[in-house]
Amino acid sequence: MKEFRLDLWKPQEYTYEAAYGFMPNVHAYLHDEDSTLRKCMVVVPGGGYCMLAPHEGVLPAMEYYRMGLNVFVLTYTNDITMCVPLKRQPMEDISRAVRLIRKGAAEYNIYADKLLICGFSAGGHVCASLCTHFDDITDPDPELNALSNRPDAAIFGYPVITSGKYTHIYSMQALLGYEPTAEELEYFSLEKQVKENTPPCFLWQTVEDDLVPVENIYLFAKALKEKGVPYAQYVFPKGGHGLSVASDEMFAGWHGGEYICEQLGFALKRVKDGTAVNMNEKRHAELMQQFFSDNSPMQPPKDAPADRKPEPVVNLFEDVHTWLMLSRIWFERFL
C-alpha cells in the first residue's frame, strides 16, 4: 500500500480564522501496482462539524481499499469551539479535493470519471453540499477550476441533510453560527437544493438513530426521486448513530487514524491556554470540562491499567454491516 498526505490549499488560499496552523488535506491509500486503473473513493468522516471521527474515515477507507478502489480520506475544516462559523469552507475543501485528485488521476492510477464520495453524519452534509452545489463553487486556481468537481456518485451514512425540523442543531450551529440568515439556512438545507444533475446517491441509516433523525434521508430520497436522480435507500431497524462500518473490529475497540484529529488538537491547545479566537466563557468552560477535567470522558480512568486491552464485543448489527456490500453492488452497476 502506498500512503501519503496531500494538502489541499496553498497557504495564501486558506484563510479560515480558527485553523491554528491546520491545513485541510487528504490521506491517500493507493494500491502499489502501476498499471491497473481503479475507481476512486473519497471518504469524509463526521463529527458535527466540531471534530472528525477517525472510525468514520480509516475503517470505511480500508473496506473500499480491499474492494480494489484507491481511496482518499478527507480531513476538512471543523471547529470544536463553535466560535468561528465555517460557512462554505468545508464544501470548498471537498470541492478542491475532488479537483486535485482528478488532476492527479494518472499519477494515482484512477479513472477520472469514476470518482465516488462517501460521507457520514456531518461528513454526509459536506458530501451532499458538493452534490447539490458543485456548479456554484469556483476554485481560485484557474487550472483546477477547469476540472469538474462533480462526483460521479455519492454514498451517505446517517447524513445531516436538512436545516429544518429534523436537523442536527449543533452541526448547523458550527456551520452557520447561532444567528444564520434565512438564505443560509435555505442554501444548506440540502433536500431543497437537489437538481437534475445531482449525481446518483446511495443512502443508509438506522431507525433508532438518536442524534440525526432518520427523516433526513427520507427527505433527501424524496427530493432525488422528484428530480429523477438515481438513488438507493436502506433503513436498518436497530442501531444508534455513528455506526460507520459496524464491524467486529470496530466494536472490539479499534483505534487509529490520529491524523484525522489534527485540527482538534491544534484548537484544544488554544482552548487550554485561553487564546482561541472569539472564545466565549461558556464554551471555554464546556471544553475544559469535556477534555481537561479529571472526570472528563476523554480521560482514561485513573485506576485503569495502561496496557488494558478492550474486551471483544459481539457485533449486534450484522445487518448494518451489509451496507458496504450493497453500496458496491450499487455503484458497480453504472461506474
Going along the chain from its start, the domains and CATH numbers come out as 2-297+310-332 (3.40.50.1820)
CA distance 212 to 280: 27
> Residues 292-298: what's their mean pLDDT?
72
> Residues 63-92: what's their mean pLDDT?
98
Q: Which residue has the higher pLDDT, 160 or 301?
A: 160
* Cα angle: 20, vertex 25, 28; to 5 degrees: 145
pLDDT digit string (tens) for 164-193? 999 999 999 999 999 999 999 999 999 999
> Residue 33 has what pLDDT?
78
Nearest to 274 by CA among 288, 294, 291: 288
> Residues 294-308: what's their mean pLDDT?
58
CA distance 11 to 243: 35
The answer on pLDDT for 314 being more than 70 is: no
Give, rounded to a whole angstrom, the gap between the first and last alpha carbons of the chain. Answer: 23
> Residue 40 has what pLDDT?
98
CA distance 214 to 307: 39
Least confident of 61-65, 109-113, 277-281: 277-281
> Residue 64 has what pLDDT?
98
CA distance 61 to 78: 20
- 3-state secondary structure labels for all residues of the chain: CEEEEEECCCHHHCCCCCCCCCCCEEEEEECCCCCCCEEEEEEECCCCCCCCCHHHCHHHHHHHHHCCCEEEEEECCCCCCCCCCCCCHHHHHHHHHHHHHHHCHHHHCEEEEEEEEEEECHHHHHHHHHHHHHHHCCCCCHHHHCCCCCCCEEEEECCCCCCCCCCCHHHHHHHHCCCCCHHHHHHCCHHHCCCCCCCCEEEEEECCCCCCCCHHHHHHHHHHHHCCCCEEEEEECCCCCCCCCCCHHHHCCCCCCHHHHHHHHHHHHHHHCCCCCCCCHHHHHHHHHHHCCCCCCCCCCCCCCCCCCCCCCCCCCHHHHCHHHHHHHHHHCCC
- pLDDT averaged over every residue in the chain: 94
> Residues 189-209: what's their mean pLDDT?
98
- Side-chain half-sphere CA neighbours of 121 within 13 A: 27
Which residues, 6+ apart, have CB-to-CB distance to 138 below 8 Å? 145
> Residue 35 has what pLDDT?
79
> Residues 190-215: what's their mean pLDDT?
98
CA distance 100 to 23: 15
- Residue 309's alpha-carbon distances to 21, 81, 121, 243, 249, in angstroms, are 34, 32, 28, 21, 13
**pLDDT band with cut points at 50, 70 and 90 for residue 131:** very high
Report which residue type is found at 324: L
